[in-house]
């Protein structure tokens, strides 16, 4: 029964942190665009059902 060494665990945590950091700077663009698409989708559904 081998246990992972702390160096391996720290490396995995650092890789996960880097992945998150690489996406965070896109949030000011992605969130408004996603909100706009969602509003257009919901408005089109409301018009279609009315």
Maximal C-alpha separation, the chain? 64
pLDDT value at residue 20: 82
Q: Which two tokens stand for residue 20?
A: 């998150």
pLDDT value at residue 16: 58
CB atoms closer than 10 angstroms to residue 38: 10
Q: What is the pLDDT of residues 1-50, one digit of tens each?
A: 666 666 666 665 555 567 888 888 999 999 999 999 999 999 999 999 98
pLDDT value at residue 23: 85
Distance (Å, rounded) from C-alpha 8 to C-alpha 4? 6
pLDDT value at residue 18: 74
Q: Which two tokens stand for residue 44?
A: 């089109």
pTM of the model: 0.55
């Amino acid at each position: 029964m081998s246990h992972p060494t702390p160096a391996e665990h720290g490396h995995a945590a650092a890789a996960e942190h880097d992945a998150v950091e690489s996406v965070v700077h896109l949030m000011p663009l992605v969130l408004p665009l996603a909100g706009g698409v969602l509003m257009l989708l919901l408005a089109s559904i409301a018009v279609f059902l009315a």
